Structure 1
Amino acid sequence: MKTKLNAGLFACTALLAACAPAATQSATIGRTDAAPGRLSVAQPASTVGAGTLTLSSPQFANGGTLPLEQVGSGSGCTGMNVSPELDWSGVPAGTVSFVLTTYDPDAPTGSGFWHWVNYNIPAGASSLAKGAGSTGGGLPAGAASGNNDGGMTGYTGACPPVGDAPHRYVFTLYALNKTLALPAGASPAFVGFNLNGATLAKTSIIATYGR
């Protein structure tokens, strides 16, 4: 009787041990204690470095405040909704096209907010003029814009909720080894998906704005 009882206990212990990894794994899925209050959103091509690629703007210093000219003009915001000038250098060999995006990771959406998405900027370009993404502006020949998270093509300025801590506006330039075959009005997520495996280098600058 004792032998059968010991065998039964051994079997139960073995069964619990086999289940333990699955139980531990399921307990950690969906935890938010590492970054409470916001969903962490992975950026495309996260393992690719900048190399010699640099990005700058005469409208703001990296880490500085976004000027009112680049702020939105709706939803209570009183900016001019003009996209900034962006200049770059240090382009890696083999670059065929560029993608340039503007993203607010602090927007209270659970997944941030994409303000501007441009792709197939020609390899010979070294800048986007101020207002290129705004009404009446223009991108270099061959370049295209996807839809921003407001559902429109082109640039939509910063307009964070009143009382929020200043939001970060991340301008990122990607140097690609190809052009992207995308439908008109492609979503930011679809553009980002197509960057993976095609990005030679990427670099970012950040401006902040609050109201």
Structure 2
Amino acid sequence: MRLTSPAFVNDGAIPQKYTCDGDDINPPLAIDAVPVEAKSLALIVDDPDAPAGTWVHWLLWDINPHTGHIAENSIPNESSAGLNSWGRPGYGGPCPPSGTHRYVFHLYALGQMLRLPESSDRKALETAMQGKILAQCQLVGLYRRR
């Protein structure tokens, strides 16, 4: 399984457009080679370099496994968005207080749909995914405020 973006390369800089210094919208993503037995996909975007501990920027689940891309500023039809570390659903772009931070886009292929309430956070998502992960991959972007 592979996750890429036409907006930035793995371990490359995330364009300002997709951050708090720009339009604060999600970047476009491309998904390939999902296992045929997958029933859904889940996406967790986090910043492991945040001063207060890992900061969650975006949670999505119940993504159709045949989804080949996620357009910028959108979520796939029929998927669900959970609560990020700001306590709201949806995407919150990179906004590091200092230095260059890594933003890790974790993609999981799952053996079933999760059907979690949209008030779910990362802990609830990870608990629901236990024992259901068929494959996983990641894409890393970097951002430093000017």
- TM-score, with normalisation over the residues of structure 1? 0.67
Q: Is the 8 A contact 2:89 2:118 kept in 1?
A: no
Letter in 2 for 1:65: A
Letter in 1 for 2:41: F
Report the Cα distance in structure 2 between the residues aligned to 1:208 and 1:175, rounded to whole angstroms.
Answer: 24
Percent of matched pairs sharing the same residue: 34
Report the Cα distance in structure 1 between the residues aligned to 2:130 and 2:120, rounded to whole angstroms.
Answer: 16
1:183 is displaced (CA, Å) by 1.6
Report the Cα distance in structure 2 between the residues aligned to 1:93 and 1:179, rounded to whole angstroms.
Answer: 14
Give the gaps of 5 or more residues in structure 1: 1-52, 73-77, 133-138
Three-state SS of the structure 1 residue aligned to 2:13 is coil
Q: Which has the higher contact order (CA 8 A, sep 6+)?
A: 2
1:165 is displaced (CA, Å) by 2.6
Corresponding residue for residue 6 of structure 2: 58
Q: Which has the higher strand share?
A: 2
Give the gaps of 5 or more residues in structure 2: none
Three-state SS of the structure 2 residue aligned to 1:103 is strand
Corresponding residue for residue 142 of structure 1: 78
CA RMSD of aligned residues (A): 1.0
Q: Is the 8 A contact 2:41 2:110 kept in 1?
A: yes
Q: Which has the higher helix share?
A: 1
Which of 54, 58, 74 is equivalent to 1:116?
Answer: 58
Report the Cα distance in structure 2 between the residues aligned to 1:196 and 1:90, rounded to whole angstroms.
Answer: 22
Corresponding residue for residue 35 of structure 2: 92
Corresponding residue for residue 172 of structure 1: 106
Report the Cα distance in structure 1 between the residues aligned to 2:22 and 2:72, rounded to whole angstroms.
Answer: 15
Three-state SS of the structure 2 residue aligned to 1:94 is coil
Alignment of 1:1-211 (within 5 A): 53-72=1-20, 78-109=21-52, 111-132=53-74, 139-161=75-97, 164-211=98-145
Which 4+ residue blocks in structure 1 deviate beyond 4 angstroms?
none
Q: Deviations over 1:166-186 (max 9, x none)?
A: 000001110000000312221
Report the Cα distance in structure 2 between the residues aligned to 1:160 and 1:94, rounded to whole angstroms.
Answer: 38
Three-state SS of the structure 2 residue aligned to 1:193 is helix
